[in-house]
Structure 1
Amino acid sequence: MTTDIKDAVHAVGAAAVMRLFPAKPRLLALGEPTHGEDSLLDLRNDLFRQLVEEQGYRTIAIETDCLRGLLVEDHITSGTGTLDEVVEHGFSHGWGASGANRELVRWMRAHNEGRPASEHIHFAGFDGPLEISGAESPRQALTALHAYLAARVDEDLLPCGAEVLDALIGADGRWTDPAVMHDPARSVGRTVGARELRLLADELVGLLDDQAPHLIAVDSRNGLERARLYGRAALGLLHYHHGMAEASPTRLARLVAVRDRMMAQNLLAIAARGPAFVYAHHAHLQRAKSSMRMGGAPLEWWSAGARASAELGEEYAFVAMALGTIRHQGVGVPPPDSVEGRLYALPDDRCLVDARRLATLLADAPPVPRASPWFGYAPLDPEHLEVTDGLVFVKDVVRRG
């Protein structure tokens, strides 16, 4: 049986990945099925280096706070801050503790040092400024957007002064209260002040677009793009807090959808600047509808990747990771009739698989879904093979010592 699928299997490498597509994708997404494994992030780093050196990619975008990610971008492009400071404060979700993320930042800074800006590689977070348990105050994004405009356009064009925003935002703790996730009534997301902030944020974003020719002339395109990021983050956060105040059965589904909407908007903005390598959980990148259970309820939503794919067509590519074992998390050898089991029987420690070719080869003996004993690992859904461009299979995930 394993000899039948060898026609779809190749060594992992940037050149082999690119042969899966008719042309270079503008967004090349690699989805991981679990978080927190540095050995998978090492693979990510190796592939990104090859994409930079062999294929002309210049940006990596990962599932971390888009605003914090600006600290990483400033460090790798201009040396702002120390490596320790950047890995501590430039990543959300606690991922600054990852040795592989630290190595990514170190390598990117070393690559850029001494090169002209036109040859720099770039870093972007594409997640919203939020965690699964809550969201940040809109203060940073809104005040940065207002300050950018106030320094560059006539004062009478602004919808309000900075002091108005400050008063409407109030204490940041009102927005970040962790109790809100379990008690929507504690949220300030549907107060009169929050509604006024949404209107003002919308007006500021509109003014940014209206004045774009002037802003590029007096500043730079990069400055305008950063201001647009502040605008997306501000509006996204205000929509997210609005959803957190909703006391209905659809509340959690609304929140995960708003989050991926923010992600998709950021991905499309990144794609507009040139080819980028994207890395996140595959639930945020796959073309098929995503699903999970939260609070005991099943949730379904369209991922950021599905939305980007709908906009970009063949310029969006999705490669999923499939894993054999994660023994330190209780995930043992996969069933032999699962996709992972078929690949586990091969001698390769890791390999690249043409997913659509594999689906054709397995059509006469369709693989069964794999169940995981650990909630932190999401096995590959075999029904997704036909809407997946490739698989990177890692036979045994070993905790890096």
Structure 2
Amino acid sequence: MATDITDGVRSIKAAAVMGLLPARPRLLALGEPTHGEEALLHLRNDLFRQLVEEEGYRTITLETDCVAGLVVDDHVVSGGTGSASASGRASGSASGTGTAPGAGELDEVMERGFSHGWGASAANRELVRWMRAHNEGRPASERVRFAGFDGPLEITHAASPRQALTGLHGYLAARVDADLLPCTAETLDRLLGTDDRWTEPAAMMDPTRSAGRSAEARELRPLADDLVALLDAQAPYLITQTSREDLDRARLYGRTATGLLRYHHAMADPSPARMTRLCMLRDLMMARNLLALAARGPVLVHAHNSHLQREKSSMRMWQGPVEWWSAGALVSAELGEEYAFLATALGTIRHRGVDVPPADTLEGLLYALPEDSCLLDTARIATALDGTPPAPRVSSWFGYAPFDAAHLAGSDGLVFVKDLPQGPASA
């Protein structure tokens, strides 16, 4: 069995990845089984650089706030020529009327452009710096774009829908007849109220503290829907009055506004299905963002395995176990073979108390390989197992999710890192 697995071992290179796939996928996703480990992010950077340079990928998207990510995108595209509208977009206006390319020094970009505190990552900083340098002097068609594909969501709270709603309304108000708008900007401002009523941290554990089913929230949901419908109905006119990019940005605001209002509504749900709904809605927002990115060209995706796998995802929370279809499962159902997923599995994370895996687990079998890191053909692994499932690995640390051998068939390849070193978490 070890010989068969060894036959499927490859170096983690762009050419090796492409060799596992029938054709270049529109969305190529690389998962990770834990967050915040710099070694995994540096591995991601190296592979993504090769895929950009050798395979023509033109967008890199990470599991971070899709609206905040616009700040990073504005920064990296300013390395190119002819990006005259970027500074206007960085202000959140969606008008595309700025006159200077790019926005923000790198420190500011890393602070404002990432959610979950991931702007402090040295590897993320390195990625942003490389993207900007890569784009310098290149025409628009050859620049690499950055995007977040997560909603504006944190573990403790969800963002106010203000930025997305007002951005969408402002884009439309500047271009269509006022009589077609479902409400005025003043009405939106009144219904939105203060942002802290939306971001109340206690609402994550206590649905009665959520504003998601207030009278104002109930009124905002159909208004947001009407604004999105107006944007879609006026698209043939709007594309003659503005750039495709600015129209796409307005659509992002629309997806985010309706998604956030739906998420806040679920936060106020007192039923036992509450956390399942929240996980489901988060990944639905992710999937819709990924599909929108895929519509403009080939995309590289990085996130937790649980958000990218084709199988149902699961998690044990304070309310009990929850299951939901991940963004990867939703996108795969839509794109078929144009979606590809490489999972990542690990041997040890000793600084987190995760020691050598038992020999009868999948990670234990892979740990016996001589390579420090490698790419494996999941079909060969499945053949080597010959229908005998390895024992499940149980993590001693809640932050690491071992790879489920039952997911081999749903993965296009498996990246294995033998020993994960402890590294600096910030630049």
- TM-score for both structures, normalised by structure 2: 0.93
Return the alpha-carbon distance in structure 1 between the equivalents of residues 54 and 370 of structure 2.
Answer: 27
Give distance in 2, aligned partners of 1:224 and 1:364.
50
- Which residue number in structure 2 is paired with residue 152 of structure 1? 175
How does 1:385-396 map onto structure 2 within 5 Å? 385-396=408-419
Is the Cα–Cα contact under 8 Å of residues 64 and 128 in structure 1 kept in the other structure? yes
How far apart in 1 are the matches of 2:271 and 2:219? 23
Question: Using the alignment, how far apart are the partners of 2:177 and 2:4 within structure 1?
Answer: 68
CA drift of 1:4 comes to: 2.6
Q: Name which of 370, 373, 389 aligns with 1:366.
A: 389
Root-mean-square deviation (CA), in Å? 0.9
Q: CA deviation at 1:2?
A: 2.1
TM-superposed deviation, 1:365: 3.8
Structure 2: gaps of 5 or more residues: 79-101
**2:199 is aligned with 1:176:** yes
Asked if residue 264 in structure 1 is aligned to residue 287 in structure 2, the reply is: yes
Partner of 2:103: 80
> What is the distance in 2 between the residues matched to 1:195 and 1:19?
51
Give the deviation of 1:132 after TM superposition: 2.2
Residue 195 of structure 1 deviates from its aligned partner by: 1.2
- 1: distance between equivalents of 2:317 and 2:388? 33
Confirm whether residue 383 of structure 1 aligns to residue 393 of structure 2.
no
Structure-2 separation of matches of 1:364 and 1:305: 26
Shift of 1:296: 4.7
Q: In 2, Cα distance between the equivalents of 1:139 and 1:32?
A: 32
SS of the residue 1:130 aligns to: coil
Match of 2:307 in 1: 284
Matched letter for residue 34 of structure 2: T
Whether the 8 Å contact between 1:356 and 1:387 is mirrored in structure 2 is: no
The reply to whether residue 293 of structure 1 matches residue 308 of structure 2 is no
Following superposition, the deviation at residue 297 of structure 1 comes to 0.5
Could you say what secondary structure the match of 2:36 adopts? coil
**What's 1:246 paired with?**
269
- Separation in structure 2 between the aligned mates of residue 187 and residue 116 of structure 1, nearest angstrom: 47
Aligned to 1:50: 50
Out of 226, 241, 251, which is 1:218 matched to?
241
Amino acid at match of 1:302: W
1:21 aligns with 2:44: no
* TM-fit CA distance, 1:19: 1.0
Q: Which SS does the other structure have where 2:183 is aligned?
A: coil
Give % identity: 70
- CA shift for structure 1 position 364: 4.9
Which portions of structure 1, spanning 4 or more consecutive aligned residues, are displaced by more than 4 angstroms? none
In the alignment, is residue 233 of structure 1 matched against residue 242 of structure 2? no
State whether structure 2 residue 212 is matched by structure 1 residue 189.
yes
The match for 2:89 is none
2:342 aligns with 319
Matched, 1:92 2:120: no
After superposition, residues 198-213 of structure 1 pair within 5 angstroms as 198-213=221-236
Aligned partners of 2:319 and 2:354: how far apart in 1?
A: 22
Q: Judge conservation of contact 1:184–1:244 (CA < 8 Å) in 2.
A: yes
Does the 8 Å contact 2:348/2:357 carry over to 1? yes
Please tell me whether the aligned partners of residues 4 and 381 of structure 2 are also in contact (alpha carbons under 8 angstroms). Answer: no
Unaligned runs of 5+ in 1: none
Compute the displacement of 1:268 (Å): 0.5
For the residue of structure 2 that corresponds to 1:148, the secondary structure is helix
CA distance in 1, matches of 2:68, 2:153: 11
**Counterparts of 1:196 and 1:385, CA distance in 2:** 46
- 1:336–1:342: 8 Å Cα contact kept in structure 2? yes
| Distance in 2 between residues matched to 1:296 and 1:396, nearest whole Å | 33
Instruction: Provide the rounded CA distance (Å) in 2 between the counterparts of 1:136 and 1:387.
Output: 33
CA distance in 1, matches of 2:388, 2:151: 41
Equivalent of residue 115 in structure 1, options 121, 125, 138: 138
- State whether residues 4 and 380 of structure 2, in contact with CA within 8 Å, keep that contact through their aligned partners in structure 1: no
Distance of 1:359 and 1:126 partners within structure 2 = 31
Q: Which amino acid aligns with 1:67?
A: V
**Range with greater deviation from structure 2 (142-151 or 183-192):** 183-192
Q: Which moved more, 1:50-59 or 1:356-365?
A: 356-365
Mean alpha-carbon deviation: is it higher for 364-373 or for 283-292? 364-373
Matched positions, count: 401
Matched position secondary structure for 2:421: coil
Q: Provide, for residues 70-115 of structure 1, a one-character-per-residue CA deviation record: whole Å limited to 9, x for no partner.
A: 0000000123111110001100000011000000000000111111
Secondary structure class of the residue paired with 2:148: strand
Question: Partner residue of 2:3?
Answer: 3
